[in-house]
Structure formats: structure tokens, C-alpha cells
Amino acid sequence: MDIPDPVSARVQLDEAIGRLSEKCGEAVERWICVRAQEVLDAWILAGGDLSQSHAVVRAALSEAAEVSAARAVVCIESLRGRDPALPGTPGPLEALQDLSHYPTRVLADAGVGEVDRDPFEELHFPEDVYGLRVCSFRDLPGGEDLVDLHIFWGVAKTAVLRVERGTLFE
């Protein structure tokens, strides 16, 4: 297998980031709208009270989904030009980990009770009290395409590391 030149490797990595950010923005918005609405509906069906009208909460969740989607795009786009091998540099999936903050705040402000979660999730992600965290690209609508793009990103990252460092390890 030929090692690409440095410019080609970076172009491939930037292309992967661009395609991921485009698709993730759309998918995150739909995911949050659907998942947060499921939590809200379950709360209401269980007889839970809301501190605001249902319509107000739904509108706020829609806005939170838009903000989360925009944040997803910014987080993934922020990976452009960064050294992918530096400690602390997130990958695309890691860039999506904090997006549950916006809908969580809406649900909490509306008085929605916390959901039952897996003990591992409760221990390691205590702030995600509604189970809204994106754990895998497969969680998102169109997830299989996102998984393929994530693999493309990984291959491009590997090419950058081989070209710029001569090795995958350091």
C-alpha cells in the first residue's frame, strides 16, 4: 500500500471531517427531538406533572435540538487542522458526548423526573439523567452511514499519522 503525500492525507482527513459534520448535524437534531420527546411522553403517561405547558416544553426541546445540532457541527469541524495524535484530541464521536446538556436542561426545568438507566451509565455519566447521550453513531438516524464515515475518518487519520510521523504509534 502506498503512503499518500502529506497534502493528500490532510485533504482526506478534512473531507472526512466535513462529511461527518454535515451528516451529524442533521442526525443529532432528529435524535434529540425523537429521544427527548419519548422521555417527555413517558413522563406524562406515567402521570408526571410539568411545570410548563406541554406545547412550551416541546418547543423548547425543538430549540434545544437545533442548538445541539449546531454544536455538533462546530465540535466536529473543530477537529480540522488539529494533530489527531495529540493526547486529548477527541475523535468525532467524542466530540458529540456533551450534546445531551441542552435537552436535559429543558426536561429538568419542565419538572420531568429522571429515567431509570443502566448502572454503568449512571456511574460514568451521572449528568445524563435522561439517557440522551450519543453512545454510538448507530444511535443516530442514518447511523450506518455515519459509521462508514467514521471509518473513513479513521483511515484518513491513519494516513496522516503515517505521513507526518512515519508511524501510527508514539
Q: What is the pLDDT of residue 127?
A: 93
For 143, half-sphere exposure in the C-beta direction (CA atoms, 13 angstrom radius) is 11
∠ CA(29), CA(34), CA(39), 5° rounding? 125
Q: What is the pLDDT of residue 58?
A: 95
CB-CB contact of 113 with 50 (8 Å):
no
Q: What is the pLDDT of residue 165?
A: 74
Q: What is the pLDDT of residue 1?
A: 45
Domain ranges of the chain: 20-136
Q: What is the pLDDT of residue 166?
A: 72
Give mean pLDDT in consecutive 10-residue pieces for the chain, a chain of 170 residues. 68 91 92 94 94 94 95 92 82 87 96 94 94 91 92 88 70
Q: What is the pLDDT of residue 98?
A: 83
Q: What is the pLDDT of residue 46?
A: 94
- Interatomic CA distance for residues 4 and 16, integer angstroms: 16
- The helix (run of H) or strand (run of E) holding residue 34 is helix 6-45
CB-CB contact of 20 with 92 (8 Å):
yes
